[in-house]
Amino acid sequence: MDHPHENAQQASTHPSQSTIVISGDGDHLALTGSLGSATLSEATNSLAGWSCSGVSRSLDVARLDNLDKAGALFLCSLRDKGVELIGIRAEHHALLDRKIRPEVESVPRWRLYAIGLGKGGHEARRDLSEIVTFVGRTASWTVAALIHPKYLRPASIARHISEAGIQALPIIGVMAVMIAIVIGYQGVAQLHPYGSEGLTINMVAVSVLREMGVLITAILVAGRSGSAFTAEIGVMQTREEVDALNVMGVEPMQVLVVPRVIALVIALPLLALFADIMGLVGGAAISQFLLGVSPTQYLARLPHVVNGGDLFVGLFKAPIFAFFIAVIGYMHGLRVSGSAESVGRETTKAVVSAIFVVLALDALFSILFERLGI
């Protein structure tokens, strides 16, 4: 076999440690020098056509000074194609006989579970730390904007109230009615054997006003407006618009977060109040259908069943839930790294985190109000 650089290569009787010399012709060639990562490309190009021939060929490797794993894999591939390797040095036998393959270490299943648990704990600790940080920053900028109204952005606040509040009224109303009907139906089914199905009205009214109205509203807002918040900030992050605001000397927290926080804090209590009203309407419908209680009788009984404290408990939690939903959405929006996949991943995490925080806060408030006797 003829090679373009054969004469120059043969002239170099003592190649350096980072060169490879291919000498000989026809079916018998010899390698001299170093066969490794640095020279593998040259050797592969020179021997590609020669090694594919069906004729019996031999390759003398006795004068190879250095051979690493990459070079050994290349020689093993030549041997698999029918090339005879002759003159193999003793120190190279181990590499060539092993037919080196990437070693994949088998990890026990219990260790995988432990690793996953550790990663989950680390991410939870990081999320908690970032939430506390963002809560402090958001509270600081929001209070500063309220103290100095010139920093408020009424147009932006109005737009977000419309998107997060007014446009969410249909789904909030339908969900509140359905939840009240489910609670009422299950209440009648469970209390009928004891002859106390009349207490279903009490259960529906108290559950809707104290817990279900605000809780269902907060969960829907987290999935609807919180995810939109994360996606908007995430897209701005991928387009480097957030960095552009910083370069222009504009604080992103003031422009992007404060209007959304104020809008959600205003919209969520109003949505919760609307959900309470629609839940009571659903309770009236199921009471008339299952108990034969007319809407007039239902309304006359409500003041004896619930009071202003029950309504206060539900509405008191709404702005706090709204604040945390906005903070978590902004936090995950800033985590977007620049790809569409990252936007989707962080949006999903934002919804899950917001719902988890809402449920945790609701549980804490339930315990607190019970201890305070409210």
- Residue 10 scores a pLDDT above 70: no
Q: What is the pLDDT of residues 161-199, one digit of tens each?
A: 998 889 999 999 999 999 999 998 888 888 888 877 778
* Joined tokens for residue 68: 């690493």
Coil/strand/helix, residue 206:
helix
Which residues, at least 6 apart from 302, have a Cβ–Cβ distance to it below 8 Å?
Answer: 201, 205, 280
Average pLDDT over residues 245-261: 84
Q: Which of 141-163 are b and which e, b meaning 16 or more Cβ less than 10 Å from the residue's Cβ?
A: bbeebeeeeeebeeebbeebbeb
Class of domain 6-98: alpha beta
Q: Is residue 264 predicted with pLDDT exceeding 90?
A: yes
Q: Read off the DSSP letter of residue 87.
A: S
Average pLDDT of the residues in 198-223: 89
Rounded to the nearest angstrom, the gap between the alpha carbon of residue 66 and the centroid of all alpha carbons in its chain is 48
Q: For residue 73, what pLDDT is reported?
A: 79
**Residues 332-337: what's their mean pLDDT?**
85
Q: Listing from the earlier edge strand, what are the strands of the sheet with 57-67?
A: 20-25, 28-35, 57-67, 83-86
Residue 239 has pLDDT above 70, yes or no: yes
Task: Give 8's pLDDT tier (boundaries 50, 70, 90).
Answer: very low
As a whole number, mean pLDDT of residues 244-255 equals 82
Q: Is 81's pLDDT higher than 90?
A: no
Q: What are the start-end ranges of the H helices in the chain?
A: 6-11, 40-51, 69-80, 90-98, 109-147, 154-164, 169-191, 200-207, 213-221, 227-238, 241-247, 252, 258-290, 295-305, 308-334, 340-372
Which residue would you say has higher pLDDT here, 25 or 132? 132
What is the number of residues in the chain? Answer: 374
Question: Tell me: the pLDDT tens digits for 142-159?
Answer: 888 888 888 788 888 899
Predicted local confidence at residue 12, as pLDDT? 40
Residues 6+ apart with CB under 8 A from 198: 291
Question: From CA 25, how far away is CA 38, in angstroms rounded?
Answer: 24
CA 208/CA 188 separation, integer angstroms:
16
CA 166 to chain CA mean position, Å: 28
* Helices within 12-68 (DSSP H only): 40-51
- Check whether 50 has a pLDDT greater than 50: yes
Residues 249-268 have a mean pLDDT of 87
d(CA 29, CA 8): 15
Distance CA(257)–CA(267), nearest Å, equals 15
Task: State the Cα–Cα distance between residues 57 and 53, nearest whole angstrom.
Answer: 8
Distance of CA 282 to the CA centre of its chain: 36
Position with higher pLDDT, 233 vs 42? 233
Q: Report d(CA 248, CA 305) in Å as an integer.
A: 57
Q: Looking at the predicted structure, is the pLDDT value of residue 4 above 60?
A: no
* Dihedral sign from CA coordinates of 338, 341, 343, 346: negative
The span from the CA of 9 to the CA of 216, in Å, is: 79
Out of 157-166, 183-192, 206-215, 243-252, pick the least confident.
243-252
β partners of residue 35? 67
Flag whether pLDDT at 276 surpasses 50.
yes
Read off the pLDDT band of 55 (50, 70, 90).
Answer: low
Q: What is the pLDDT of residue 5?
A: 43
The confidence band for 6, taking pLDDT boundaries of 50, 70 and 90, is very low
pLDDT tier for residue 18 given thresholds of 50, 70 and 90 = low
Q: What integer is the mean pLDDT of 307-329?
A: 90
**Distance between CA 127 and CA 130 in Å, rounded?**
5
Dump pLDDT digits (tens) for 82-137.
777 787 777 777 777 655 455 556 677 888 888 888 888 888 888 888 888 888 88
Query: Is it the case that residue 339 has pLDDT exceeding 50?
Result: yes
Q: What type of residue is 291?
A: L
How confident is the model at residue 343, as a pLDDT?
86
Phi and psi at 184, nearest 5°, equal -65, -45
Hey, which of 57-71, 264-278, 327-341 has the most confident mean pLDDT? 264-278
Q: What mean pLDDT value characterizes the chain?
A: 82
Q: Considering only 66-75, 95-104, 241-250, 305-314, which range has the smallest mean pLDDT?
A: 95-104
Is residue 43 a contact partner of residue 69, using CB atoms and an 8 Å limit? no
Percent of the chain with pLDDT over 90: 19
Residues of the chain with CATH 3.30.750.24: 6-98
Tell me: pLDDT of 26 over 80. no
Phi/psi at 24 (5° precision)? 95, 180
Q: Say if residues 172 and 275 touch (Cβ distance below 8 Å).
A: yes
Q: Using 50, 70 and 90 to split pLDDT, how confident is the model at 201?
A: confident
Q: What is the mean pLDDT of residues 221-241?
A: 87
Mean pLDDT of 196-225: 88
